[in-house]
Structure formats: C-alpha cells, structure tokens
Structure 1
C-alpha cells in the first residue's frame, strides 16, 4: 500500500506538471465522459448496448454549447489493434465528435485502454484522416488532434484548479506494466469478456481495488489541495460537502445507462442518461441529476478546510 501510494503520488504529480491548461469561467460548459470502451460491435463491445443513449446525450450537449471532454478509455485499443474497425462500427459517434472538433469543443485524454494515443505517430496515422473505401478518397477526421494524459481546468477569475486524468496513474498493472496487461486482454480476456468474465487486473468489479485507488487519490488531493476528476474504476463518485473533492464520472458501459459530470454556470453535478418509460409506457432517453449541482468554489481546498 505504501509503495502504491508513492507511485500514484509520483505519477499524479508528473501528470499535473505536464498537463494542458484549459482556462474556464462561469459561462463555460463542459461534459465529462469516460470509459466508453468503444469496440467493433462484436459481443465483447460493451459500448454497443449504450450507443444510442450516448448519441442522444452527445447531441444534447452539442446543441447546448458544451465542450466534450473524454477522460480516457474512449476507444478499446487493447482488444482491437485496428482503429479502423472501431471507427466503422461507431461511425455516427465519430461524425458527431468531428462536429465538436471542428468548433474546438473536443478535449481528448487517453487512459490505459487507449494509451497508444500518447504516441503522435499513432494518432496521426489513425485519427487525422481515414480512407473512405466506398468513395475511394481520404477524408479528414481530427487533423492535428492532440490527446493528453492530463488537463488542468483553471478558473480565469479565482485561479481554482481541477486536475483531470483517466485514473490509471499509479495502478501498476494498468500503468507501468500496461504492455503485459494489454497482451493478456487482446489474446485471452477479450474472448472471456464476451461471455461475462472480467480481467482480475481490472478495477471494474474489484471493490477492494476501487476503494484503494480512491483512498490513494484522496491522499494526493489533500496534500496538493487540488480538486480532481477521473474515471477508470467505472464507479461514479460525487463528494459530499466537507469531503475531499474526488470526482469520478463513472462509465458509459453500465447496464443502467451512462454517467457523466457536467460543469455549467460555475457549478458541478453528476448526471445519468438512461432509457425510461412515460405514463403511456413509451420508451424515452432521460437525463437525471444524481448529485449536485454544487458551486465549484465549494471544493476549493485553498480556502476551505476539508478533512
């Protein structure tokens, strides 16, 4: 535990020191989603069941002026070595992403399952453009895209900072030993995954591992007095007042729907999009606020003492 805590603190500090700075104010609007794990629409693709919910939510955020922040593990590049298959399987998603990108409203972070995005050559070869087999021409997708390990959202007026990372930093098997874990997922766990088995190195169904990550990250928050948003564990979390400001946006692959974190009007909230019924029994996709909204400044540790 002590060694893991030191490793996580070191990796989080490195990520913070090298982060992209995104300045915002009380007029800014952001939606944070993570852990989509977009695959190729085969049985191992957990995202496929929620794709329509995701598209509906994304259309709402685009039409209402939000910036989309993908907090890692968007594309399932551990299971699928060829991004082309993922893009083709979820063409509508990437078409909508491009609309965000073209308006400079797309911020993409990489996680452990798409850590290949840290390499510029990989991004340039796969994400800048693609070849349209039908029309036999190259089409621009995200030319010049730069995925980040970390982004620090910094309030223009107050200077309050929010560190955003995927959350695998310091999780040894998913961070420093990711090559080994990726191979085991691609050639073994991928096939068991399709029938319901979970890789034991994943924190998703391991409550002890989830709580350990949360405790370790909370220690870093307390020491550095910086609010943090992450994913990775697939467990949504929104702190109560007087708790350390550790936020987790959940995932987009849960059976109940998709969770995310919104920042709007200087406030932060945890939301969920899911399919529900109305009084007539008709199915609708609905947005529900799970926790919040709370003013972001409430979680500013520079001015508040939170134990």
Structure 2
C-alpha cells in the first residue's frame, strides 16, 4: 500500500511541475468543471448517452453566463471505441463545447480513457477540425489570487500513478475494447476500477487528499466518479446528519423517530455500498475536491463551479433548469486556511 501511495504521489508531483498555469482572480473567476463523460458510440455500452440532454442543458446555461468550461478527462471513451467513431457520433456535443472554445474559454485535460490526446497528431486529426490549434493538457495549476494572497489549485484527472489506469493503461485498453465491451453490452457488468469499486474509490480519495495535505495545495480531480467537497464525501454528510438526529431524538424517543433513524441508517448503508465511504481522516483540511461525473446511470451529472467568490459542488438533473447546490464555501476561506 505504501509503495502504491508513493507511486501515485510521485506521478501527481510530475503533473504539478509540468502543468499549464492560469492566474485567476477570485472576484473574476467563472469556471465550471466537468469530468468523466465517457462518450462512446451511442450503443448499449455508452455511459454518457443517458446524460446527454442534461449535459447540453448545463452547457447552454454556463455559456450564456460567460463561464470557462474545464473538461477534466475521460471525456471520450477510447478504451472501447476509436476516436473517429466517438467524435462523429457526438459532433453535436462538440459543437456545444465549441461555443466556449470560440470565446477562448475552453480548457481540456486528458485522462486515462482519452489519453489519445497526449499525442499532438491525434489532437490535430480528431479534434483540430472542430477546435483549430487546441491544446489538451495533462494538468493545469490555477493560481487563485485575492489581494496579495495566492492558493494553487491543481486540476488533474486523477489516474496518475495507478497501475491499470496509468502504468498498464495500454493493456487495460486492449482488454476493455476487445473483451470487456462485449460483456458490458450483454450483461451491464462493471469493470473493477476506482469508478465502480467502492473500496478502490475510498483508497484513491485518500491518496489524492494526502498529496494535497502534504503539499498544502488544493487538488480538483475526477476519475472515481465520486463527488467530494472540501474533503468530505456524501457518506460523511449522512453520518453528520445521523449523529445530529441521534442526539436530537435521544430525549424524545417515539416510533416515528425510530423509523426516521432506521431510514437514514439504511440510506447511509446504500450510499456506502454504491458510492464509497468517507476518507476516514479526522478533521481534514478542505483541500480535496472531486467533480463526480457526467455518466451517472440515472442521467444526472455533477460538477464544480468556481464563481461569485465561491466554489460549489453542483448537480444537474433532467428536469431542472438551474443547478442544485450540494455544497458551497467561499474561495477566500481556501486562501486563508492554514
């Protein structure tokens, strides 16, 4: 485990050192960060298909409000499909993203499932026709500033240093494209990765947090499909609600209160099984954020907004016209935290 953790941290450090740097003033920041679309070929193995309408609605909202769009990796699913197929099938979505590019407000980062974008020739061939001279980075360091204070924020997909997603990605790709994709199409069985293995999710979340903690920097990533806000997961939030409810109902027991506690404990159990548990770190620094994904099976998508002097974890659903805010804090808090 120690060797695995060290490997992840070494690769994150490399990503940090070679990152593109962007200076952003807190009072001017307007960014939306989405990740893990996994756009495929519009078949039964395409995880993005059910989320497409929701995503396009969100893009329209952010473009109309002059946001920067940051795509944090695994936007395309190249382990299962060729670039030509994906880019052809989703030309309409690319066109919606181009509205940001035309205003110099599109930022792309590659992940393990769309790492073809590491290669300039692939970018020119498959992205250049829609986005002339676009650059796709492994990482971006956002230098958040206010007055004379600055906090560095590392934007990275988050697969760096993991065995099957980074070091042996070529072998994983072959397995997924020629064997697993057919199994997935037939039986809808998930591959064991941090995106769908709750134990791996929690381990990976802790690895990302520990890098941020040690380096005293904020890290924003995707990869696990597991939304995290200020180093707290959904399970953390429910545990907090459960503790408050237990304290409140201790002095006033009743069948209704007992049922409410039972329901909340059941919900917590389901979230732990489906999304993963907490980071299991006492009083963590608020330095780890995860955007979640744009490929939830119910059609919802999550992302991170940086705007109006705040950072927010947001969710879009098929029937909403404004984002639901799942978590929010002032950016100045991150700058001043020590």
Aligned to 1:150: 139
SS at match of 2:229: coil
Match in the other structure for 1:281? none
Task: For 2:201 and 2:166, locate their aligned partners in 1 and report how far apart those are by CA, in whole Å.
Answer: 15
For the residues of structure 1 that align with 2:35 and 2:292, how far apart are their CA atoms?
A: 7
Report the 3-state secondary structure (helix = DSSP H, G, I; strand = E; otherwise coil) of the residue aligned with 2:167.
Answer: coil
Query: Deviations for 1:149-175, whole angstroms, at most 9, x for unmatched residues?
Result: 100000244221100100101211101
Q: Which residue of 2 aligns with 1:243?
A: 284
Give the match for residue 279 of structure 1. none
RMSD: 1.4
Post-superposition Cα deviations, 1:161-220, rounded to whole Å, max 9, x if no partner, equal 1001001012111011100001011001111222311112x2122111111111111111
Q: Give the equivalent residue in structure 1 for 2:114.
A: 114
**Structure 2: 5+ residue stretches without partners:** 233-282
Aligned counterparts, 1:101-250, within 5 A? 101-129=101-129, 141-157=130-146, 158-194=149-185, 195-200=187-192, 202-239=193-230, 243-244=284-285, 245-250=287-292
How far does residue 73 in structure 1 lie from its aligned partner after superposition?
A: 0.2
1:59 and 2:63 are equivalent in the alignment: no
> Which structure features the higher share of strand residues?
1
Q: Report the more deviating stretch, 16-25 or 212-221.
A: 212-221
Larger Rg: 2
TM value normalised by structure 2? 0.80
The yes-or-no answer on 1:13 pairing with 2:13 is yes
Q: Which residue of 1 aligns with 2:337?
A: 304
Query: 1:91: how far off?
Result: 2.0
Q: Match of 1:3?
A: 3
Paired residues of 2:33 and 2:71 also in contact (CA < 8 A):
yes
- Asked whether 1:255 is paired with 2:304, we answer no
Matched length: 282
Instruction: Give matches, 1:62-81, under 5 Å.
Output: 62-81=63-82
Distance 1:223 1:233 in 2: 21
CA distance in 1, matches of 2:204, 2:93: 30
For residues 198 and 46 of structure 1, the distance between their equivalents in structure 2, rounded to whole angstroms, comes to 11
Structure 2 Cα separation of the partners of residues 192 and 263 of structure 1: 39
Tell me how far apart the structure 2 counterparts of residues 150 and 52 of structure 1 sit (CA, whole Å).
Answer: 28
Residue pair 1:275, 1:286 contacting (<8 A) in 2 also: no
Matched residue of 1:213: which SS? Answer: helix
CA distance in structure 2 between the partners assigned to 1:240 and 1:126 by the alignment: 36
For residue 136 of structure 2, give the secondary structure of its aligned residue in structure 1: coil
